[in-house]
Amino acid sequence: MRREAAARLPRTLVTREQIGGIRVVRAFVREPAERRRLAEAAFADLRARYPDLPVGYAGAADLYLEWADSAERGGGEPFQVRAWRRQAAALYAQVRQRSDDPRLAAGHARALSDLRQSDAAVDLINRAAIQAPDDLGRLVQQRPGDPNA
């Protein structure tokens, strides 16, 4: 009975509300592909509206790395995993032109490392460590389950 009721629900339920003068759209989506599409669209919208701010670029890059990691752990398609990692690296490169926050260099380095571009990744981390030596411990963190760390 519960399954039948769930099957009758709309695949996407969107609500609109006003929060502090900002119009917010909340979507409750059942299918992972649709959730990915909506998240991707939200970050693309942020990049279009606020091209000089890092949030749309870094957020999307983090999202792509998360999807790649999840797909890789779950035995996902290796071509899609690499495509998401390449998209993340490209977005990190773009966001680093807009901000000198060393955490962005760490994310970019991680994406490059995952793409087997270790020399470029190490160079980025070294430059970030010079820029913000007090943050080095936070820049380089061992990922859970990483045998090379």
At residue 147, the pLDDT reads: 44
Q: Tally DSSP H helices, then E strands, for the chain.
A: 7, 2
At residue 144, the pLDDT reads: 41
Q: Collect the ranges in the chain with pLDDT lower than 70.
A: 1-31, 133-149
Task: Measure CA 17 to chain center.
Answer: 26
Q: CA-CA distance, 99 to 104, in Å (whole number)?
A: 8
Question: 19: which strand partners?
Answer: 22
pTM for this entry: 0.69
At residue 104, the pLDDT reads: 87
